Amino acid sequence: MNDFLRIFMRQFKGRMNQNILERITYLRDELRQHNYNYYVLDSATISDYDFDNKLKELQGLEAQYPQYFDETSPTQRVGGEVTKSFKTVVHKNRMYSLDNSYSKEDLYDWEKRIQKNLGVENTEYTCELKYDGASINLSYEKGKLVSAVTRGDGFQGDDVTANIKTIKSIPLKLKGELVDSFEIRGEIILPLDGFNKMNEERILEGEDPYRNPRNTASGSLKLQDSAEVAKRPLDCLLYHVVGDKIPFETHFKTLERARNIGFKVPKAVKECKDIDAVFEFINYWDVERHKLPYETDGIVIKVNNLHQQDELGFTAKAPRWAIAYKFKAAQESTLLHEITYQVGRTGAITPVANLEPVKLAGTIVKRASLHNADQIEKLDIRVNDTVFVEKGGEIIPKVVGVDLAKRTSDSQPTLYATNCPDCETLLVRKEGDAKHYCPNEFGCPTQITGRIQHFISRKAMNVDGLGAETIELLFKEGLIFNFADLYDLRIEQITPLERMAEKSAQNIVAGIELSKQIPFEKVLFAIGIRFVGETVAKKLAKHYKSIDKMMISSFEDLTKVDEIGDRIAQSIVDFSNDLSNIQLIDRLRSYGVQLEMSVESQANQTDKLHGKIFVVSGVFHQMSRNELKKAIEDNGGKVSSSISKKTSYIVAGDNMGPSKRSKADDLEIPIITEEEFIELIR
């Protein structure tokens, strides 16, 4: 009898647990659908009261039966996780910027370039609104959200997954399949109604109102308490899927599928058969955008065919297959009180207009760039003028004109500065340069701190715990005079400083120590040689493998490196011949900073394809297009987007454009298959 009771009770408990799991699963599925209906489809199918009751029931069951925990449950959206510091994550696929256009002529020129590269006469496009928010990259594995990372510098961003989970329009679990693993990009926005309501509440509480929805949305992602993020009416509009083996031929079809499986892809997205249809879309939204519930500053036009997108590829900064058309920038007039001058880390002088504060495109503008002496002379800008200010690309304020009708009779022409505002050194202006420069490279305080700030920045050495203010404080206290001095800093030197504590000092020293692991190409960029940006630094690092080999190279040798022109070569020669710079590099070497390519990074690199230029065209099966391009570069070759007399080989896959094949035949350029290329590098 006892055995019978035990078996009965075990079976009863099993059936009971099964019933509870079924109820939990049912509630989760039902609440997910209600969330999707309300936040994505904008069509509520349940009252708030009923939704809250079901959510409370689910929360109670999950608390009582923790063995049935599910990270994608609707209950996980309420927040509560506290993040003290946001982990930096390298993007699997770089998040590029977009090239901008401001006229129909710009778009015609863009179309000509892409059609020439593709070798086609007709191109289809997808048009989307350009949302004004904070860019986000969402990663999904087997239908579940696994991470959310901000754009950052495009190469790496901050992991804000806990905060993103509180945004109800972002699915934690998908309603269907796309591919097993993919990323989807979008914009975190704050709808205007929600933004205005937040400001009303802040004003009632005696707080200053937020300036604009974009900055408020961006700031929300970095709040440490996700429960606070959950209180904000954030939304997410998705616009691009990135992944291998996407099962659709076009960008538009991919977005349609993304919408069907739970993502909030705006209905404004449109397939356009030609450039004329693109202009119709632009003209329509130039008027209708003012009725939208969120801010937008333009239209994004993308080549619709995904194979063509792959073929066009990217420049150093942007995809060739997409472009942003910016609506005419907002413009206001205001009074110019004073012209001051700023010194950059390279010594370049920038004149700045100090203005009567004016509201422009959602922000209060007090200062605007005047660019250089030529621009001031061209527009005849003077102190006490009423000037017209707009945001270039609706980001950077600039003075674009003067209201001459309001100029006073005692107005005097502007005399451009002759001496550095920081160190009083006489300014110089080389022939062909638009800007004036302070030549006091090692004695001008702003240049000194500017170079150190560049050295520690995210795109360079990425030193945690250090910022511009701390660098200026360390310089002021006589602890650092160049970036090599950072590696001599000790905790006991930093702790007594203003606004410092032992923990802060420990973090700074630890961050500096970690920077010794930063790879050579980033160190080369961090050093701050004039005209050597991120892309150039990578090419130089790859070519020379070490800073020593680069610094002993002649001007003629440097100009033979891919994309290194006379100006960059001369700048490197000047840097390399300066005793102060030689001593700085020697000091960095003594501290263990990476001044040559690591063995690991050189492991799969050869010179088999040195001097060869390849064009990759078509659809491939054994390797992706990006893998092919990387294999070419890893073996010393160069990838070009267009065929010319200099092209050595065309690697052709399926669906290679007929005009490209014809041009290759005309120029007698060898066409090889994917298999033949693999044999070439084997």
Catalytic residues: 130
User: What b/e string do you get for 160-184 counting C-beta neighbours within 10 Å, with b at 16 or more?
Assistant: bbbbbbbbbbbbbbbeeebeeebbb
The secondary structure of the chain in percent helix, strand, coil, rounded to multiples of 5, reads 40, 20, 40
Q: Which residues pair with 131 in a beta bridge?
A: 296
Ordered DSSP codes for 5-35: HHHHHHHHHHHHHHHHHHHHHHHHHHHHHHH
- The count of other CB atoms within 10 Å of the CB of residue 594 is 22
Neighbour-count burial for 535-572, b at 16+ CB within 10 Å, e otherwise: ebbbbbbbbbbebeebbebeeebbeebeebeeebbebb
Residue 137: CB partners within 8 Å, gap ≥ 6?
91, 95, 148, 149, 150, 151, 157, 183, 184, 185
Query: What residues does 355 pair with on adjacent strands?
Result: 336
Kindly state the tokens that stand for 619: 């659809």
Q: Which residues contact 187 (CB under 8 A, 6 or more apart)?
A: 131, 132, 133, 134, 135, 136, 236, 237, 239
Angle (nearest 5°) at CA 21 between 16 and 27:
125
Strand spans (E) along 441-497? none
The string of DSSP letters for 498-528 reads TT--HHHHHHHHHHHHHGGGS-HHHHHHHHT
Residue type, 539: K
What CA–CA distance (Å, rounded) separates 676 from 682? 10
Q: If you search the block for the tokens 């901050």, which residue do you land on?
A: 158
- Could you tell me the strand order of the sheet in which 125-131 lies? 100-101, 322-326, 296-303, 125-131, 270-272
Place of tokens 């929300």: 220
439, 371 Cβ separation under 8 angstroms = no
Asked if residues 44 and 38 have their Cβ atoms less than 8 Å apart, the reply is yes
